[in-house]
Structures are given as C-alpha cells and as structure tokens.
Chain A
Amino acid sequence: MLPNLERYRICSSEEVRRILDYLEERYGIPRSVFENYTFLVRGKNSIWIYSGHPSILELIPNVSIAGIRALHLSIKKTLKPTTIFLQVFGKYATKNVVELESEEEAVTFMSGGSIARYYDVEEGFVVVKFGSDVLGCGLYSNGVLRSKIPKTLRVRFEWFK
C-alpha cells in the first residue's frame, strides 16, 4: 500500500480511499468520521491527519508539522495506527478492540508492558481500551498483547502504588 511516498504532500483520492478502507475494514471506524480531515504523507512511511484548511498548507512556507501522525507503514507493509491517533479516533472503533479488565492491566499496558491472555480479536494491531478510556495501540499475536505506547506517553508503575 501507498508505494513511492517520498515527500510531504496531500494524499491522492485513491490513497485516501485505501486509508479509509483500512480503518473501516480493520477497526469498523466509519468513513464519515473523517469527512472534515485531510490526510497527508510525510517521508516514505507515515500518514498524518489534519483538520485545518488544506489550502493553508501551501500558503505557509516551511511547514514543519501539520496535524498529528495517524498511521505508520511498517517494514512488512502493514499499517499501524499511532497511539495518539487512536486516543482521538479509537472511540469509534467496533472491531479489533481489546478491553482490559483491571486497573492493574491498564497500568501495565500504559507503562509499556505485555499482557498474556486470549482476546477474541485478529492478530496484528489493535485498539486497547480500559473502561471508557482509549489507551492506545497494542500488537496482539500468539496470545500476547504488547504495548505500543510511545515512551513519551508512558506512565510509571510507582505512580499507582
């Protein structure tokens, strides 16, 4: 998906269609959620989401950052949603959502740890929730849920003692 992405630019309508297909098929997030958003490509493998006026991007020189990083294309060419994207849009997900069962599990996950347990989801990247909170992105494979919470957003165990 999305080959030859070499510079920062607005996604083509074909690319947007594939991003929306992926979010709908894998997570059940309806396309309508993204009606007022622009998807951008930066570098070879990251997709950003931006809710400002698209035309402004061309009128401001030297844009360093626009919106937030939404998806990342992994080496295996699979898409990974970022935690910050899921913390905003994960509430609309209906598929491949893991619900943690205790505050202890939530703290383990938010501090970067893994949880060994069977979940009824497909293998790969999943939305991880605890109660009404969307915590972020996890990787589920072989019965283990691995935290993909970036270091900057992690919480520390001792905070909860």
Chain B
Amino acid sequence: MSIPQKVFKYYERYRSIIPDYDEFISYILKPLPYSIRVNTLKITPEKLAQRMESKGFILRKSKLHPWFFEVDCIDEERGIGATLEHALGYYYAQEIVSGIPPIVLDPKPWELILDMAAAPGSKTTQIAQMMKCKGTIVANDVSRERVKALKSNLDRLGVTNTIVTICDARRFYSDIMFDRILLDAPCSSEATIRKDPSLPLDLSYRLPRSFSRLQKSMIERAYHLLKHDGILVYSVCTFAPEECEEVVEYALKIGFEIEEVDIPLKYVEGVTEWVDERGRRRSYDPDVSKAIRIYPHFENSGGMFVAKLRKV
C-alpha cells in the first residue's frame, strides 16, 4: 500500500465525525507551516517580528494569541531554528495548536502549577511566560532523555520558576496540592502527521486503545494532586475518541466537572456518538461536547483535542 493510500485508509474511521472530510484528507498530506511563540520573558512580539522581518522571514500574526506568529522561511533547509534570536531564547518554534492547552489552563502569577508530561517544554515555557516566572511550575516527565531537551529549553528561554522531576506521572507524589494541572498526555499522535509524515499508522488501532488506559490512570492521579476547585486541562494531539472523549467521560465519573472552552480559532465540540471501524456504536456522556476538537483543515494547522475540567 502506498503511503497516501495507507493514510487515507487509517483516517477513514473518522469520516463520520470530521466535518468536510475530503478537505481534511487533502490537508493532512500537506506539510505544516512554520510557527513560533515569542518569549516575552526576553523580548516583545513587536521587536522580535521587526528583527525577523529584517532578516527576510515573513511573519503573520496568529489569531490564537499575540505571542504567536506563522512564519515563512527564507531557506527551507535552514528552517526556523538557525538564527541568533533562537540561540538567545527570543522565541520557541511551536505549533499554533500546541499553544492552546496553556491558554485554556490560564495560569496566574504566584500559583502552583503541575505539568505532568512536560518534555520537551513548549507548553511549560509558555506557562512560565504567562506567570511572568512568578509562582512555581513543577514540570515532570517520565523520560530522562526527553528531560534533557526540556532542561535545554528552560535554559535557553531563561525560565527560573520551574522544578523538574523525572517519574512516571501515574506514580507522581507530592506533599502539596496544585492550583492547576496540565495533562498534555502521551498519545497516539495521529494529529501530528503533518509535522511527522513518517508517523507509524497501525490499522489495528491498538495504539489509541492502549493509550486510553494510560491516559485514564494519569487523569486519576491528577485528580488526587489537584486542590479542591482546581483546574485540570487535558489535551492530546489525536483524533481517536478513545483517547479524547472516552478519557474525559472517565474524568467526569471520578469527580471532575467539565467547563466550556472558547478560543479564537475555529473548532468543533467533542464527539458524543460515533461508529468505530468495526461498526460498533459508541456514545459518551453528553457533557463531553464541551471539549473542543481542532482539525488541520480549519486553520491550516495540526490537530488537537482539549478539555477543561474542574475538581468538585
């Protein structure tokens, strides 16, 4: 099977839930545009944009947030990281949709935040920026190797309010409860195919099912680490309802409430009913429709699922 054929076949199970499915398919085969987040701990968006434009990059403001720009590179091979400004930590090459979970989390200076699966740190550093490096972020990741990338990004961006821990988030322990938690969970990454065209796509769909179990145990751990009334943002870069709505439905069962999310990009609400590739009808708690799904063809981006949950 050729690569595009395999891609078509893999995503076919989502035909009934993705609006304008044919357009969706045409987008997932296109490369992802470059985008950056300006590190306002070090420079203003205006100054950075001016400097990059004087070097020949073309920057377009993202609708998501004033810190984000889409970028056309002068030299595709050199890409976006080969500049003095990048070495000085003035920006982070980050997908636009990856900026959504921290915006929904809405951390405030002086709060205590947990980022349960933090590496390589695009969202951790964005949270630090939103907090102006005041208050504390505990950034955890299970992989020692990935933590190296996290550390180097914290260093480069000059983030001083972060504690890094290395452990399996399901066994993360703390003597203190958190104000807000971000669980940007490990997932089948189906929605990152534009960034990574070599993404392995297993037509047995075993991956979404096994990640779903892991994500549920992580969300359960998050519940115990969160203060009463605290906010948990759950996000995954996949389209599989097993890893999205099914996990959120589980969160509602163990004591979370779901809240509406609104962002200045096009999105659709969470799926409450669908039929999987084996013809089995699945339905979820109607409240999961408050979660949001962003598809690549909406804004020429990657894909993302985000839910905002409150511990009650």
A interface list, Cβ under 8 A from B:
36-37, 49-53, 56-57, 59-69, 84, 87-88, 106-107, 110, 133-135, 152-156, 159-160
Interface contact tally, CB-CB below 8 A: 102
Partner of A88, one of B84, B158, B166, B174: B158
Smallest Cβ distance from B93 to chain A, in angstroms?
15
> Closest residue of chain A to B110, judged by CB?
A53
Additional pairs, 15, CB under 8 Å, beyond known A59-B174, A84-B155, A152-B155: A51-B160, A56-B112, A59-B175, A60-B163, A60-B165, A64-B165, A65-B154, A67-B162, A68-B155, A68-B159, A88-B158, A152-B152, A152-B156, A154-B87, A159-B83
Q: Which 5 A-B pairs have the closest CB atoms?
A: A52-B136, A65-B164, A88-B158, A51-B160, A59-B175
The residue on B at minimum CB distance from A130 is B84
Contact A60 B89 (CB under 8 A): no
B164 touches A84 (CB 8 A): no
Asked if residues B174 and A50 are in contact (CB atoms below 8 Å), the reply is: no
Q: Are A64 and B175 in contact (CB under 8 A)?
A: no
Could you say which of A51, A65, A68, A156 contacts B134, with CB atoms under 8 Å apart? A51
> Bound state CA distance, A160 and B278, in angstroms?
55
Q: Which of B78, B112, B133 contacts A51 (CB 8 A)?
A: B133
- Cα separation A53 to B136 with both chains bound (whole Å): 6
User: With A51-B134, A59-B176 known to touch, is A110 a contact of B87 (CB < 8 Å)?
Assistant: yes
Determine if B1 is an interface residue (Cβ-Cβ < 8 Å). Answer: no
| Most A-side CB within 10 Å, residue of B89, B135, B161, B167 | B161
Binding site for A on B (CB under 8 A): 41-42, 78, 82-84, 87-89, 112, 133-138, 147, 151-152, 154-156, 158-167, 173-176
**A110–B84 contact, CB under 8 A?**
yes
Residue of chain B at shortest CB distance from A87 = B158
Q: Is A84's CB under 8 angstroms from B136's CB?
A: no
| CB neighbours of B152 from chain A (8 A) | 152
Q: Chain A residue with minimal CB distance to B78?
A: A159
On chain B, the residues within 8 Å of A59 by CB distance are: 174-176
* A52 and B135 form a contact (CB under 8 A): yes
Q: Is the beta-carbon distance between A56 and B82 smaller than 8 angstroms? A: no
Contact A65 B163 (CB under 8 A): yes
* B136 engages A56 (CB within 8 Å): yes
Chain A neighbourhood of B167, CB < 8 A:
62
CB-based contact A66/B163 at 8 Å: yes
Do residues A50 and B82 form an inter-chain contact, with CB atoms below 8 A? no
- Closest B residue by C-beta to A50: B160
A145 to B133, CA, bound (A): 32
- Distance (whole angstroms) from the CB of B13 to the closest CB of chain A: 40
Q: How far is the CB of B60 from chain A (nearest CB, A)?
A: 23
**A53→B87 contact, CB < 8 A:** no
A133→B174 CA distance, assembly (Å): 39
A63-B158 in contact given A51-B133, A52-B136, A152-B152 (Cβ < 8 Å): no
Which chain B residues border A154 with CB–CB below 8 Å? 87
A62 touches B87 (CB 8 A): no
Of the candidates B82, B84, B89, the one having the most CB atoms from chain A within 10 angstroms of its own CB is B84
Tell me which of B84, B137, B175 contacts A106 (CB under 8 A).
Answer: B84
Tell which of A68, A107, A152 touches B154, judged by Cβ atoms closer than 8 Å: A68
Closest residue to B136 on the A side, CB-wise? A52
Q: By CB atoms of chain A within 10 A, which of B83, B87, B154, B158 has the most?
A: B87
Contact B88 A133 (CB under 8 A): yes
Name the B residues within 8 Å of A65 (CB-CB): 147, 151, 154, 162-164
Which of chain A's residues have a CB closer than 8 A to the CB of B112? 53, 56
A155: chain B residues at CB < 8 Å are 82-84, 87
A87 to B156, CA, bound (A): 9
Cβ of B134: which chain A residues have Cβ within 8 Å of it? 36, 51
Indicate if the CB atoms of B88 and A135 lie closer than 8 Å. yes
- Residues of the A chain whose Cβ atoms lie less than 8 Å from the Cβ of B82: 155-156, 159
- Measured CB to CB, the closest approach of chain A to B90, in angstroms, equals 9
Give the nearest-CB partner of A107 in chain B: B84
Q: Are B88 and A53 within 8 A (Cβ)?
A: no
